[in-house]
Structure 1
Amino acid sequence: MTPPPAGLLPAIELETGVRPSHTILWMHGLGADGRDFVPIVDELGLPSNLHVRFVFPHAPMRPVSINRGLVMRAWHDYDVVDPDSGLHEEMTSLRDSQRAIEALIDREKQRGVEPGNIVLAGFSQGGAMALHTGLRYPEELAGVMALSCYLPASQTLAAEAHRANSGISIFMAHGSADNIVPMALAAAARRKLQESGYAVEWHEYPMAHSVCANEIADIGGWLKRVLI
Structure 2
Amino acid sequence: MEKPLEFLIRKPKVSIEKPPLLLLLHGVGSNEEDLFSLSNYLPDSFLVVSLRGPLILGPNSYGWYEVLFTAGQPKINLEQERQSRKLLLEFLVYLKSNYQFDESNVWIGGFSQGAIMSYSLGLLYPDKFKGIIALSGRLLEENKEIINVTEELLTKKIFISHGTNDRVLSIEYARSVRQYLESIGIRPHYHEYEEGHSINREMLKDLIEWLEKNL
TM range, smaller chain: 0.7 to 0.9
Q: How many residues align structurally? A: 211
Residue in 2 that maps onto 1:68? none
Deviation at 1:101, TM superposition (A): 1.4
1:179 aligns with 2:175: no
Q: CA deviation at 1:136?
A: 1.1
1:40 to 38, 41, 47: 38
Q: Cα gap change, 1:217/1:63 in structure 2, threshold over 3 Å: closer, same or farther?
A: closer
Aligned with residue 89 of structure 2, among 89, 102, 116 = 102
Alignment gaps of 5+ in structure 1: 65-70
Residue 119 (structure 1) aligned with residue 107 (structure 2): yes
Residues 59 and 156 of structure 1: CA distance in aligned 2, closer, same or farther (over 3 Å)? closer
Please state how far the C-alpha of 1:40 moved relative to its aligned partner. 1.4
RMSD over aligned Cα atoms = 2.5
Deviates more, 1:114-123 or 1:14-23: 14-23
Read off the aligned partner of 1:179 and give its amino acid letter.
R
- Superposition deviation, residue 156 in structure 1: 3.7
Are 1:78 and 2:67 matched, yes or no?
yes
Say if 1:115 and 1:142, in contact at 8 Å, map to a contact too.
Answer: no
1:60-209 alignment, distance < 5 Å: 60-62=54-56, 72-80=61-69, 87-110=74-97, 111-137=99-125, 139-152=127-140, 154-161=141-148, 163=150, 164-209=152-197
Assess if the C-alpha contact under 8 Å between 2:163 and 2:198 holds in 1: yes
Q: What TM-score do you get using the length of structure 2 for normalisation?
A: 0.87
Q: Is the 8 A contact 2:12 2:19 kept in 1?
A: no
Give the deviation of 1:117 after TM superposition. 1.0
CA distance in 2, matches of 1:189, 1:80: 20
Give % identity.
22
Distance 1:198 1:81 in 2: 32
Shift of 1:102: 1.2
- In structure 2, relative to structure 1, the CA distance for the partners of 1:81 and 1:221 (3 Å cut) is farther
For the residue of structure 2 that corresponds to 1:128, the secondary structure is helix
1:167–1:199 contact (8 Å) kept in structure 2: no
Match of 2:210 in 1: 222
